Structure 1
Amino acid sequence: MKLLMVAIPNHHFFQWVNQLKDSGYEVYWFDVTDGGPQSPKIEWVTQIKGWKLKWNFPFRSTIKKRLPKLYKCIQKYNEHDVSKAFQNALTTIQPDIVHCFEMQLAGLPILPIMEQNTIPLIYSSWGSDVFYFKELGVSKQELERFYKRTNYLVTDCQRDYHLAVKNGFNNRFLGVFPGNGGLTINNSNIKPVSERPIILIKGYDDGVGKASIVLKALELVSVKLLDYKQIVIYSADDSIQKQIQHSKILSSLPFTIHSRYTFIQNKELLELMGKSCLHIANSISDGMPNALLEAMSMGAFPIQSNPGQVTEEVLVHGKNGLLIANPLDVKEIAKHIETALKDDSLRQQAQDFNVNFMQRQYNRTTLQPKIQTLYQTVYSEYQ
């Protein structure tokens, strides 16, 4: 069986694809953005890259960096069309199945070509592309057209399945799977509640992510509760560092910041989660956040926003975490932080429940045969 994956270069995509290693399937990856070199994370996969540039002219990188407007004009004439490159890949590979990860960046660019054939198309929804499609620049007409061509749907939460049906999807639903294909849980890195000095915050502040509101909430938290705590922010936008520098209260606290543009190894992030008393993530739109699932698996107490009621599929407020009802409400988030820091027994209860729940429901080893069978199911239906 030949599988052609269409996706941007992304850690979660690589993790999903690696669930197919040694499955016997021939797996190809069409890098829809043609970004960067071949990925060593999936070196066993045939990677279709280097298709975009017609001519890699001298000093191209320098011009891109120093004269972006000129570079943009040049590239209008120096880039191959994505649809033609994808058509060439289809013609060469003759895949049995095409699997597209995310709609806006990966699905819509290949849609005109997929509409000209009957190859079974699987679509995995990612992040906000179902819930927040209008704000991401996808029209209702484009959405419905894409759903019409999609034969099979995979989501990372029940919410997105119901939204897809509401917006016109009426073909086969293959089920809910974590976007990264499951979690590898190292129990030796899961520290007891008494050995968790870190408050860990996801630092996206890009319009959808609202880490800046979390920082404003921290300014309201009792200083005594923050004694002996280290605050670590990962995937931080540049605006977050500036916010801390310009705040008298925040700048006096012990922060460690990992920039969004400096890659932090997933193993390192999981180790941080394993010794964090809290994991706080706040946004106005998301699918089922992989970071939330990872934090739960490592025993960090989750304080998480709940856009479209997706987070409540795994979190019960006051039992195994705290749900942020209004991601723009500074006082609400501050109250949640204080509640969690004051209540060791709540955090202990949540840690015990979440670690066991993640082991049962999201363990990578358990999910691997289910993911491999998913493709066999599609293949069998088209023979």
Structure 2
Amino acid sequence: MKILMVSMPSLHFFRWTEQLKDAGHEIYWFNITDSGKFEGRLDWVQQKFAWRLKWDFPGRVYIKKEFPKLSRYIQTVNTNSTPKAFENYLHEIKPDVVHSFALYVSCTSVLSVMENHPRIPWIYSSWGSDLYYFQNFKAYLKDIQAVLPRVDYLFTDCQRDYTIARTYGFKGEFLGVLPGGGGFKFDSTKPLKPPGERKIILIKGFQGRSGRAIPVLKAIQRLQQEILNYHVVVFGADREVVEFVKNEKIKTWFNIEVIGRIKYDEVIEFMQKALIYIGNSNSDGLPNTMLEAICFGAFPIQSNPGGASAEIINHGENGLLIKDCKNIDEIKNHLTTALNDKDLTNKAFKKNLKIRLDLEYEIIKAQVLKAYQNINSQ
């Protein structure tokens, strides 16, 4: 089967697509952001890039820097529209199916083309805030309601988003709830460190649009004495979080480390050493970092926008759910519970060891390949 992927370059997309290697399909990728060829990643996939400019003329970068007004004018006549470039590629490769990842990035921009080709099946993978967050904005909701009736097949990372999709016009076939970046690789023969041997409190450091790391840090501030014997690691810290730490007393704490974006393998390393993982946001699907915490033994304390996290965390059993992502006292109380209730963290560790079996890479991969095969046979 010829599968045409439409996506921005992202870790989720790379990990999902890698599941299809050597599965007997021809895979093409229309890089919706036209950000150049990705060497060393998906080399076996035929990538469509450098499609935006009609002519990449000498001196273009210099003109853009020194004569911005002239550059903007040139762009108006030297730029291919996304729908036109995509349609040309569609005609060139004649795919059996198109698969778009993230509605507002990779669906709306090609919707007019897909409407002109109603016989080509269209798969849409919903990520994170795709539907839950953006349904609250008129312009985005209009896009959601325009795209979903044309979509033939749907993957989501939580059951919540399937319900939302049905509300806004999806009438196709639901292919299931699967992690947006595929399953997780771990050595089932190598035991994880038990909670008693872990001394890291790991915090996802996103603030920005949906992340709410700062309320977590404010909760941490109230527990300085209680966490003296732990190493607090804030990873993926964005500018707002870095500035907050810089302007607060916690910058002087010997046991806090604030780091920016790190590689996936480094995140997993921290998860394997963390007693507690805290992820807090006002919008998400089923967070991949929460799933990583479950798979690698960290006790998850996670926000629960729209009830998505509750699909895998039973509050007070295999983790704790944050009801209000802005409530510092609630987060503080959850962290205190996790630090003091050894029985809870030990039982959660054992429960999550069982849950992670369903999230293992080959298990998820088999479900993904079966879904594509079912499409191919129809």
TM-score bracket, normalised by the shorter chain, equals: over 0.9
Instruction: Say whether the 8 Å CA contact 1:7–1:100 is kept in structure 2.
Output: yes
The code of the aligned residue for 2:80 comes to H
How far apart, CA to CA, are the structure 2 residues paired with 1:313 and 1:355? 17
Please give the alpha-carbon distance, in whole angstroms, between the structure 2 residues aligned to 1:215 and 1:61: 42
Distance between the aligned counterparts of 1:249 and 1:294, measured in 2? 27
Instruction: Quote the residue 1:16 is aligned against.
Output: 16
**Which residue, out of 270, 284, 300, partners 1:286?**
284
Cα distance in 2 between the residues matched to 1:282 and 1:228: 23
What residue is the counterpart of 2:209 in the other structure?
A: 207
Matches within 5 A, 1:83-122: 83-117=83-117, 118-122=119-123
Question: TM-score when scaled to structure 1?
Answer: 0.92
Secondary structure at the residue paired with 1:174? strand
Worse-matched range after superposition: 97-106 or 338-347 = 338-347
The separation in 2 between residues aligned to 1:338 and 1:62, in whole angstroms, is 56
Q: SS in structure 2 opposite 1:54?
A: coil
Q: Which moved more, 1:190-199 or 1:58-67?
A: 58-67
Note the C-alpha offset of 1:205.
0.6
Separation in 1, partners of 2:293, 2:317:
15
Distance in 2, Cα, partners of 1:220 & 1:57: 58
My pick for the range that moved more, 34-43 or 52-61, is 52-61
Contact 1:219 1:250 in 2 (8 A): no
Q: How does 1:127-142 map to 2 (within 5 A)?
A: 127-135=128-136, 138-142=139-143
- Measure, in 1, the Cα distance between the counterparts of 2:227 and 2:67: 46
Q: 1:65 to 1:328 in 2, by over 3 A?
A: farther
Q: Read off the aligned partner of 1:107 and give its amino acid letter.
A: C
Matches within 5 A, 1:308-347: 308-347=306-345
| AA matched with 2:290 | L
| TM-aligned CA deviation for residue 52 of structure 1 | 1.6
1:189 and 1:64, CA in 2 relative to 1: closer, same or farther beyond 3 A? farther
**1:207 partner amino acid:** R
After superposition, the C-alpha distances for 1:171-199 in whole angstroms (9 at most, x for unaligned) are 21111111111111245483221221211
Partners of 1:50 and 1:137 in 2: how far apart? 32
18-27 vs 50-59, which deviates more?
A: 50-59
Aligned counterpart for 2:369 among listed residues 361, 369, 372? 372
2:40 paired residue number: 40
The residue identity in structure 1 corresponding to 2:198 is R
Identity of aligned residues (%): 42
Amino acid at match of 1:242: E
Shift of 1:371: 1.0
1:54-92 Cα shifts (integer Å, max 9, x gaps): 344556557767987876565444432111111111011
Counterparts of 2:237 and 2:136, CA distance in 1: 22
Return 57-66 or 83-92, whichever deviates more. 57-66
Q: Point out the more displaced range, 41-50 or 297-306.
A: 41-50
The structural deviation recorded for 1:266 is 1.2
SS in structure 1 of the partner of residue 30 of structure 2: strand
| Whole-Å separation in 2 of the counterparts to 1:259 and 1:137 | 33
C-alpha distance in 2 between matches for 1:286 and 1:323: 14
Q: Report the secondary structure of 1:236's partner residue.
A: coil
Q: Identify which range, 250-259 or 223-232, moves more after superposition.
A: 250-259
Letter in 2 for 1:240: V
2:98 partner SS: strand
Range 293-302 or range 132-141, more displaced: 132-141
Change (3 A) 1:62 1:251: farther
What is the Cα deviation at residue 212 of structure 1?
1.1
Distance apart, 1:219 and its partner CA: 1.0
2:268 maps to which of 267, 270, 291: 270
Supply the AA of the counterpart residue of 1:377. Answer: N
Q: Does 2:195 correspond to 1:193?
A: yes
Partner in structure 2 of residue 172 of structure 1: 173
Equivalent residue number for residue 49 of structure 2: 49
Are 2:359 and 1:362 equivalent residues in the alignment?
yes
| Stretch of structure 1 that moved more, 134-143 or 334-343 | 134-143
User: Match of 1:257?
Assistant: 258
C-alpha change, 1:234 and 1:82, in structure 2 (3 Å) is same
Contact 2:37–2:47 (CA under 8 A) maintained in structure 1:
no
- The answer (yes or no) to whether the contact 1:189–1:271 under 8 Å persists in 2 is no
Which residue type is aligned with residue 139 of structure 1? Y
Would the aligned equivalents of 1:126 and 1:155 in 2 still touch at CA under 8 Å? yes
DSSP-derived class of the 2:182 partner = coil
Gaps of 5+ in 2: none
3-state SS of paired residue (2:127) = coil
User: In 2 relative to 1, CA 249–112 (structure 1 residues): closer, same or farther, beyond 3 Å?
Assistant: same
Q: Distance in 2 between matches of 1:69 and 1:194?
A: 62
Residue number among 211, 220, 245 corresponding to 1:218 in the alignment: 220
Structure 1 unaligned residues grouped into runs of 5+:
none
Aligned counterparts of 1:59 and 1:279: Cα–Cα separation in 2: 49
Pair 1:168–1:354, CA change in 2 (3 A) = same
**How many pairs align?**
376
Amino acid at match of 2:307: Q
Cα gap change, 1:250 to 1:346, in 2 (>3 Å)? farther
Residues 104 and 143 in structure 2, CA contact (< 8 A), matched pair in contact too: no
The amino acid across from 1:268 in the alignment is E
Distance apart, 1:46 and its partner CA: 0.7
Deviations 1:128-181 (A, max 9, x none): 111112456643332121011101111111111111111221121111111111
Structure 2 CA distance for aligned equivalents of residues 123 and 70 of structure 1: 38
1:82 equivalent in alignment to 2:82? yes
Q: Residue in 2 aligned with 1:31?
A: 31
Offset at residue 341 of structure 1 (A): 1.0
